[in-house]
Structure 1
């Protein structure tokens, strides 16, 4: 194993890399974890790293006043896509990847997704180097209020859910975003529930926490190989073929209407949208 350095950007103390950092280290990478919320080093460029991983956090993708380092994180994600440096965004990290390239993020109109859930792969995932070997409906941990309401032009949708269409996507050749969490531990989820208790009155938070704890072994079984596949991309990016569809914008957001229509048409052709599968219910019957 060659030990290529992977820059891991932790955006909040409440969302550490957890066991994902261990999986990536076991797969041969050298995790360089920088907690930006605690003053961690944010490099100006990615030249010293073979890949970048951006984690989640309670702020929004545009909350630059709350988290002044977010513009620089978006800049690094633009550099990753333009220079074809392997990149993975998780939850807020995926939202930052999307908005950095012309996508849109807003409050999820169907409400928050919380705890143990299933996502459903789309047909374009079959040939994806990370999602191809995954089960059709893998277990994940969710904890988000915002959602990617429009993917960047040229992005390929890889997975969705009944209450959040854009659960996973690929941008360019070597960048992926996943709206859900794979790095958590039961203690982390319990801490999130405690922190959000005032906002989630009416939700059975204890049940949500218990269900999340019960599914963590399944998450490990499914997503540890995913982490290993991403590590392989970081080690040998030249072996990865580009996805089907229109090449993603790598600088300023695409604003030309004709270009946007062409990109969205290519996306629709590349990723069919089959009927969604049922997911475990985590909300009370009267929740809206």
Structure 2
């Protein structure tokens, strides 16, 4: 069975949110993509108070200056499509009120006929936490734990009850309910994050940083799941942050998923061998507009399927 392929939706400055998101979503479904994805970036600090991912001296990408809200973007895509699944890779869960996030995702799943994938991460930006974090950034792991617990409670049968540090629900009916149990996938690279995933989540959202590194992380996660006696399979969706160029990248310094459509497909094929279920390709930051995004997405999909991905 071929690996599933997903596409990142247009959220950045060069796109018209109301027009381009439905247009690209419909086109991706027609091309054959299995899923559509969003990410979250709340703000772009000026001047930067920390580097990208908290790494000193690493600049933030210019595309982060303007990123549309992930749930609004997914809602636009849901209304324009019928089949594709709708996921976040990732939504920075501790920036959201747990109850409101759970209810919004349940409503979107009900409206879309059971197509939502809730992909959560803890984030890393001090400025985003200062602006909208429910708790300080040092508590982000505990907040994510509560978000997961609140989601499970709100999405489950009534009466809903939850007693936590942030959310207090004595006994209440909460609707609408999701059309089916919404899978929760986590971005998890540290040991502690992997433990949270194995114990409390349905799947994993890694980022494509190279075949060997990814294979090692996947093996470590599987080993931990076996060690903890997990019976449920771990769902997997790899995020491929692609940088498309019309000409092939020459030289030995090419990063994964950077270059021509042939080179992107070459990397898709290599990463597909690891045994993951799905790869989502985000091309939006390296193309001029929605038309080029649709054109490149079609070429990548067709060449990937022809190559056996």
TM-score, normalised by the number of residues in structure 1: 0.32
Q: Which has the higher strand share?
A: 1
Which structure ranks higher in relative contact order (CA pairs < 8 Å, sequence separation ≥ 6)? 1
